[in-house]
């Protein structure tokens, strides 16, 4: 969470690509997590 808050200009397209390399759909999931952190929402794993 701290890394998201300290790096407001995270490249979401690159983040999506990297997440999809981990598993199919992983990019969308990580981008959604970043959105939640920025919105101050609680993350659930």
Cβ 31 vs Cβ 19: under 8 Å: yes
The pLDDT score that the predictor gives to residue 37 is 93
C-alpha distances out from residue 36 to 10, 15, 31, Å = 14, 15, 9
H/E element, 29: helix 26-39
Quick one: pLDDT at residue 2?
87
d(C-alpha 38, C-alpha 14), whole Å: 18
**Three-point CA angle 34, 20, 10, nearest 5°:** 35
pTM of the model: 0.83
pLDDT, tens digit (0-9, with 9 covering 90-100), for 1-45: 888 889 889 999 999 999 999 999 999 999 999 999 999 999 988
């Amino acid at each position: 969470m701290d890394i998201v808050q300290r790096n407001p200009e995270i490249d979401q397209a690159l983040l999506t690509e990297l997440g999809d390399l981990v598993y199919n759909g992983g990019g969308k999931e990580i981008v959604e997590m970043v959105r939640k952190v920025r919105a101050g929402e609680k993350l659930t794993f």
